């Protein structure tokens, strides 16, 4: 009974920390920044809602709200940092309440021993993982947690990747003026993917 009580307290502690991180970095810091820059709280909250849904694709919606690119990136950086820390705390609480989750973590950890490259770069990898479609901002901290990376470093590097992606979106939105630009960008992107795929195949052949 006492063990269960202590376990419940630990879970509540982790969930409380998640709520604190979420409120502090996702809401309080951006709204405070808006107050300093004389931007209405409603405007900041509207952009945060867009960021919550669209993630790194949200910057173009900041312009019509009257937000500068620097403000957009600052708000998104705080949002990212808070979300990552909150998700990590939620994952920790799940591990405390579920033996199945704990066993799954141990199993994944053993499998990852086969990939020393990932272990070598550790939390720095979050910068690139945050760019992967289907994983993005919300999936990256889960991967970092499973692999046992330092949560603060994971939050920092995930935020770096997220902000870089957002800055790229801002750049594209400001410089694409015609259908031809979109076509050229698509061709370049497709060429890059083809090169990566071919490079991967050649590398595997050399290893084999």
Total domains, the chain: 2
pLDDT digits (tens, 9 = 90+) for 128-139: 888 877 778 888
Sole residue written with tokens 């940092």: 81
Question: Is-contact 115 146, C-beta < 8 A?
Answer: no
Residue 24 CA to residue 122 CA, distance in Å, equals 27
CB atoms within 10 A of CB 55: 20
Task: State whether 17 and 31 are in the same domain.
Answer: yes
Residue 63 CA to residue 171 CA, distance in Å, equals 13
pLDDT digits (tens, 9 = 90+) for 25-76: 999 999 999 999 999 999 999 999 999 998 888 998 998 899 999 999 999 9
Task: State whether 65 and 145 are in the same domain.
Answer: yes
Task: State whether 56 and 135 are in the same domain.
Answer: yes
Lowest mean pLDDT, pick from 32-41, 73-82, 102-111: 102-111
Sole residue written with tokens 């309080």: 28
Task: State whether 152 and 208 are in the same domain.
Answer: no
Comparing 145 with 43, the larger pLDDT belongs to 43
pLDDT of residue 85: 94
Task: State whether 97 and 198 are in the same domain.
Answer: no
Comparing 19 with 105, the larger pLDDT belongs to 19
Domain of 196 in residue numbering reads as 178-208
Task: State whether 99 and 189 are in the same domain.
Answer: no
Comparing 81 with 178, the larger pLDDT belongs to 81
Task: State whether 99 and 198 are in the same domain.
Answer: no
Residue 30 CA to residue 53 CA, distance in Å, equals 17
Task: State whether 187 and 119 are in the same domain.
Answer: no
Task: State whether 120 and 195 are in the same domain.
Answer: no
Residue 49 CA to residue 44 CA, distance in Å, equals 9
CB atoms within 10 A of CB 77: 18
- Per mean pLDDT, which of 101-105, 111-115, 147-151 is the most reliable? 147-151
Task: State whether 70 and 167 are in the same domain.
Answer: yes
Question: Is-contact 67 175, C-beta < 8 A?
Answer: no
Q: What share of the chain is helix, strand, coil (3-state, %, to 5)?
A: 85, 0, 15
pLDDT of residue 18: 87
Question: Is-contact 154 144, C-beta < 8 A?
Answer: yes
Task: State whether 168 and 183 are in the same domain.
Answer: no
Task: State whether 158 and 182 are in the same domain.
Answer: no
Model confidence at 108, pLDDT cuts 50, 70, 90, reads low
pLDDT of residue 140: 87
What contacts 80, CB < 8 A, 6 or more positions away? 137, 158, 159, 162, 163
- Identify the DSSP state of 27: I
Average pLDDT of the residues of the chain: 79
Question: Is-contact 148 155, C-beta < 8 A?
Answer: no
Comparing 200 with 88, the larger pLDDT belongs to 88
| 110 has a pLDDT exceeding 70 | no
pLDDT of residue 81: 96
pLDDT of residue 178: 57
């Amino acid at each position: 009974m006492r063990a269960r009580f202590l376990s419940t307290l630990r879970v509540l502690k982790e969930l409380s920390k998640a709520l604190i991180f979420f409120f502090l970095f996702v809401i309080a810091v951006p709204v405070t920044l808006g107050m300093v820059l004389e931007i209405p709280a409603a405007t900041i909250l509207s952009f945060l809602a867009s960021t919550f849904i669209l993630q790194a694709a949200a910057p173009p919606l900041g312009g019509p709200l009257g937000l500068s690119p620097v403000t957009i990136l600052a708000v998104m950086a705080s949002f990212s940092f808070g979300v990552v820390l909150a998700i990590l705390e939620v994952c920790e609480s799940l591990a405390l309440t579920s033996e199945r989750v704990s066993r799954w973590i141990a199993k994944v950890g053993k499998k990852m021993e086969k990939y020393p490259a990932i272990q070598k770069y550790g939390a720095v990898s979050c910068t690139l993982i945050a760019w992967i479609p289907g994983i993005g901002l919300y999936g990256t901290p889960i991967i970092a947690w499973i692999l046992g990376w330092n949560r603060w470093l994971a939050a920092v590097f995930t935020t770096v990747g997220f902000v870089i992606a957002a800055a790229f979106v801002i750049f594209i939105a400001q410089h694409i003026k015609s259908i031809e630009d979109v076509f050229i960008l698509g061709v370049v992107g497709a060429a890059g993917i083809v090169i990566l795929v071919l490079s991967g195949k050649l590398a595997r052949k050399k290893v084999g």
